[in-house]
Amino acid sequence: MSKYTIKITLLSDTTFGRGDGVAGLVDQEVEHDRYGFPYLRGRTLKGLLSEECDNLVAVLSDENQRQHWQKISNELFGVPGSTLGTQGKIHLGDACLPSDLRTEIAAQIDSEEKKKQNDKKYKPKLTSTDILESLTTIRRQTAIDTETGISADHSLRSARVILRELIFESNILFETELDENSDDDQDMLALLTVGTLALRRIGSGRNRGKGHVKCSLYDSAQEITKNMNYIQRFGRNK
Amino acid sequence: MKAVTFLLHTQQPILATSLQGDPNSDVSHPYIPGSMIRGFLIGRYLQKNRIKVNDDTLDIQQLPNVKRLFFDAKTTRYLNAYPLIDNKRTLPTPRSWYKDKGVTFSEDKEKTIYDFSKIPLEEQKELTNDYEENLSPKLLEENFCLVDEDEVLLYKVKRRINIHNKRDRKRGKGIEGSGAVFSYDAIDAGQTFQGVVLCETEEDQSIIESLLQHKDVWLGGSQSAGYGHAEIQLLNNNHEYYEVESASRERIENQANLTVTLLSDTIIYNECGQIVSNPETLRQILSDALNQELKFQENGIYASSIIVGGFNRKWGLPLPQTPALAAGSVFVFENIDISSDKFHEFLDNAKKIEKQGIGERRVDGFGRVIFNWLNEETEEYKAKLFNPEFQTTQQAQNKEPLKSESSKIAVGIANRIVRKKLDDLIIQQVSKISLTNPEEISNSQLSRLMLVARQVLYEVEFEQTKYENERRSITELVEPINNLLHNLPSNALKQFERSKLTENIKQCLNVEDSWLQNVWRSNPETKHLIADDQPKVIIAGEDKDIDTYITLEYSLRLIIAVVKKIMKEKNND
């Protein structure tokens, strides 16, 4: 099994939306786990990566070249419909904060909850809300009425944003070991590398200033996105 | 029974789609179906033996093992993987168990469960009509249980509901015809399930064990996108396996009644060849299989039906949807009169049924049946929820020190928590403070004070970005304010003194005996956040206390806030 890691560094505040809000507090809540750690779902990340790869393949000028890389993209991400033949080779996990930190804090919250269970009057020193609030903040915005130039009525909305500079990691697993001598396997890795580099905007409002990120791909030893061989490999003629 | 038992630790949510919910949602079973386990083992077998897609896998000449291992329920059966608690595989909660309406189970307090299959009808009526008991029976919501005499541990599978949306690839957003919002209700990560594969020979056992050696597996839907990852842990299989504690012989011999419990969904045909979920058909099937005419006891049926389906990944198509008797259904039959010479035959038949199951799709774990599972004398059980013993705590005990990145985030979290608490304290403090003679001081003097305080605040914030040994001292930093107060013209000095602002400012700026520390210790929201006798927040071993610079910063913020408040109040007047 081959294992790679995508690291996503937030360069601006970002909302990994989950499609709902919290009544009376925020209109757009970020996806977070039971300990309050925000994360980006693997399904969303796969959609974003495959979209970037498709965009890169689509601009290749040579028809044969394009068809070859489209085939590689289909092998890598799969095509819609679930059959053994069309299944993607990649397995993407959720992009989360570092696991050692999450485990440590989760244990702390669990222990506080346990104390609370044993003694109803006990006030926990740390809760999941503390963690969520310390890693995020709430941004509010209105729409501007184009005629009056002032904020439009009933347009005030609030969204939770994850604070910039945090680094999220997602594991990428291939069920079989990628072969260094196989052209197809190396092409897949090349496509994944350029797709990762091309991914610059994630989450809600990503065309409006939020969600600017820097993505990099690592294998167990080094950063692959710095390896020019993979980048130059993409788009080459077969 | 020979069996291969193994654990599945879910690393990601598992989407084992059942036929529930609306068309835009996928609702998962609360367990990992046997068909899913069979599917991934077939995949591994094909890969291991380099069998191609177009090979005839059912050709016994070429591939003698395939049919026996994967397609013949008489030789191999892949049971559903049910949750594991207390190192034991749970079983579906019997549908004859009722609780009083409004009762919710907890991890610490035991609540009563009534087994109506054991309570005679008259007593059931008494229970419901009795003034004291006044039982209003309701079925249990917890799907799985572990029974130990009259004590029961209940388990409700943790689920994760995610909402996803489909986007049009070209437009980059959902559009009509190519966009939808849908939800996945999946089994949550971090749970353990025990899978069982029943087989007949040691050879089959070892083949299946060899397929389970590779620990990473992906199960169910959306495998490439954050769902389905589980880790396999093979268990020791050198002993006879029973789905319940004891062998069928003991259970049947020791009890007068015959109670049949379904341990998985059961698909049965009636005599016309139609699939039905009818208890009468089940009675006929059991009577034929046991060679003994069975008769339902009055009020002896506690069953419900369900629609079952599935998905064949090879075909890329869903399986036919059929009705089935739901797992946990209980059927109580009248005392059977078996003469001693027939009793052995009856026991053999019962044992065979427990081993082989009944009905269709037995290879996928359907049709598991158990006779006299529970003690017939136990009418009531004391039940509580399983306490997961906080697995994360155990994980953290084997910890290594945090990486520098994680440690930095932990410090950041602690810092933000401290500052949030301090912000709240300031708001409370400002509302409490009121000057005795606010009208005695002019707005221009207040503005002068605010300007200096702001300047100092800016400097204090800047100093905090430096290393501790490079920072300027507190005395140096507060000097501009002290200078202001000492060099005031006589008129301004009188204004400050009459309004008692000087006194308050000096009190505020005393970082040694700080108001902040005192308020922190007395406020109900913060007084529990004390470690080593100091106000402190500890996150993952990284702590953040209130040092003198933070004290000064918040003191300045308080001064500015109070000044603003006075100006606002004066303006309102």
pLDDT at B482: 87
Average pLDDT score over chain B = 86
Nearest neighbour of A134 by CB, restricted to B53, B169, B416: B416
Residue A48, pLDDT above cutoff 80: yes
Contact predicate A202/A8, CB 8 Å = yes
- Residue A82 with chain B: CB contacts under 8 Å: 221, 311, 313, 316
- B-proximal residues of A, 83-142, CB under 8 Å: 83-94, 97-98, 100-101, 103-108, 110-111, 113-114, 117, 123, 125-126, 130-131, 133-135
pLDDT band at A183 (very low <50, low <70, confident <90, very high): confident
Nearest neighbour of B395 by CB, restricted to A44, A107, A126: A107
- Residue B528 with chain A: CB contacts under 8 Å: 123, 125
pLDDT at B511: 73
Q: Where is pLDDT greater, at B135 or A60?
A: A60
Whole-angstrom distance, CA of residue A56 vs CA of residue B383: 59
Give the three-state DSSP class for A72.
helix
- B-proximal residues of A, 162-201, CB under 8 Å: 166-167, 173, 175
Which amino acid is present at A70? Q
| pLDDT tens digits along B422-456 | 999 999 888 887 777 777 788 888 899 899 999 99
pLDDT band at B245 (very low <50, low <70, confident <90, very high): confident
Residue B9, pLDDT above cutoff 90: yes
pLDDT at B133: 67
pLDDT band at A30 (very low <50, low <70, confident <90, very high): very high
* Rg over CA atoms, chain B: 35
pLDDT at B109: 87
Q: Where is pLDDT greater, at B170 or A92?
A: A92
pLDDT at B533: 82
Residue B394, pLDDT above cutoff 70: no
Whole-angstrom distance, CA of residue B459 vs CA of residue B526: 28
* Cβ–Cβ contact A20 with B under 8 A: yes
Contact predicate B36/B221, CB 8 Å = no
Chain A residue whose CA is closest to B169:
A51
Contact A93 B226 (CB under 8 A): yes
Q: Where is pLDDT greater, at B285 or B573?
A: B285
Exposure of A122 in the CB half-sphere (CA atoms within 13 A): 14
pLDDT at B257: 79
pLDDT at B246: 75
- Residue B221 with chain A: CB contacts under 8 Å: 82
Average pLDDT score over chain A = 89
Contact A46 B163 (CB under 8 A): no
Across A193-219, average pLDDT:
91
What one-character DSSP code corresponds to residue B470? G
Residue B51, pLDDT above cutoff 60: yes
| pLDDT tens digits along A104-162 | 999 999 889 888 888 888 889 999 999 999 999 999 999 999 999 999 999 999 999 99
Across B334-357, average pLDDT:
83
- Residue A51 with chain B: CB contacts under 8 Å: 167, 169, 172
Residue A173, pLDDT above cutoff 80: yes
Contact B420 A133 (CB under 8 A): yes
Whole-angstrom distance, CA of residue B294 vs CA of residue B349: 14
Query: How near does any CA of chain A get to the CA of B102, in Å?
Result: 21
Whole-angstrom distance, CA of residue B319 vs CA of residue B4: 26
Give the three-state DSSP class for B456.
helix
- Residue B540 with chain A: CB contacts under 8 Å: 101, 104-105, 108
Question: Which of the residue ranges B57-61, B169-173, B399-403 would you say has the lowest mean pLDDT?
Answer: B169-173
Q: Where is pLDDT greater, at A196 or B25?
A: A196
Give the three-state DSSP class for B555.
helix
Exposure b/e, B121-156, CB count within 10 A at least 16 = b: eeebeebeeeeeeebeeeebebbbbbbeebebbbbb
Contact A111 B390 (CB under 8 A): yes
- Tell me what percent of the residues of chain B surpass a pLDDT of 90: 35
pTM of the model: 0.82
pLDDT at B302: 93
Query: How near does any CA of chain B get to the CA of A230, in Å?
Result: 23
Closest by CA position to B445, among listed B546, B570, B339: B570
pLDDT at B548: 87
Q: CA separation (Å) from B137 to B113, B129, B328, B332?
A: 10, 11, 17, 19
Query: How near does any CA of chain A get to the CA of B129, in Å?
Result: 35
Whole-angstrom distance, CA of residue B382 vs CA of residue A218: 53
pLDDT band at B391 (very low <50, low <70, confident <90, very high): low
pLDDT band at B131 (very low <50, low <70, confident <90, very high): low
Contact A83 B538 (CB under 8 A): no
Torsions phi, psi of B51, nearest 5?
-90, 130
Whole-angstrom distance, CA of residue B210 vs CA of residue B4: 10
- Residue A45 with chain B: CB contacts under 8 Å: 225-226
Whole-angstrom distance, CA of residue B122 vs CA of residue B116: 11
Contact B107 A167 (CB under 8 A): no
Chain B residue whose CA is closest to A97:
B406
Whole-angstrom distance, CA of residue B441 vs CA of residue B567: 10
Query: How near does any CA of chain A get to the CA of B316, in Å?
Result: 4
Across B498-514, average pLDDT:
78
DSSP string, A100-126: HHHHHHHHHHHHHHHHHHH-TT---S-
Across B236-249, average pLDDT:
80
Closest by CA position to B500, among listed B451, B557, B448, B438: B438
pLDDT band at A237 (very low <50, low <70, confident <90, very high): low
Residue B85, pLDDT above cutoff 60: yes
Burial of A221 (0-12, 13-18, 19+ CB in 10 A): exposed
Closest by CA position to B153, among listed B114, B96, B101, B108: B108
Contact A19 B420 (CB under 8 A): no
Whole-angstrom distance, CA of residue B222 vs CA of residue A88: 10
| pLDDT tens digits along B546-561 | 888 898 999 999 999 9
Exposure b/e, B521-550, CB count within 10 A at least 16 = b: eebeebeebeeeeebbbbbbebbbbbeebb
- A-proximal residues of B, 396-415, CB under 8 Å: 396-397, 399-400, 402-403, 405-406, 409-410, 412-414
Contact A87 B311 (CB under 8 A): no
* Cβ–Cβ contact B51 with A under 8 A: no
Q: CA separation (Å) from A226 to A50, A54, A119, A178?
A: 20, 21, 54, 19
Contact predicate B330/B296, CB 8 Å = no
Whole-angstrom distance, CA of residue B450 vs CA of residue B299: 83
Residue B374, pLDDT above cutoff 80: yes
Residue B172, pLDDT above cutoff 70: no
Closest by CA position to B314, among listed B69, B46, B64: B46
The most distant pair of C-alpha atoms in chain A lies apart, rounded to whole Å, by 71
Starting at the earlier edge strand, list the strands of the sheet with B380-385.
B91-92, B144-148, B151-155, B380-385, B111-115, B97-100, B137-139
Contact predicate B362/B262, CB 8 Å = no
* Cβ–Cβ contact B450 with A under 8 A: no
- Residue B224 with chain A: CB contacts under 8 Å: 46, 77-78, 87-92
Q: At what angle do helices A128-135 and A99-118 cross, to 10 degrees?
A: 140
Burial of B431 (0-12, 13-18, 19+ CB in 10 A): exposed
Whole-angstrom distance, CA of residue B182 vs CA of residue B115: 39
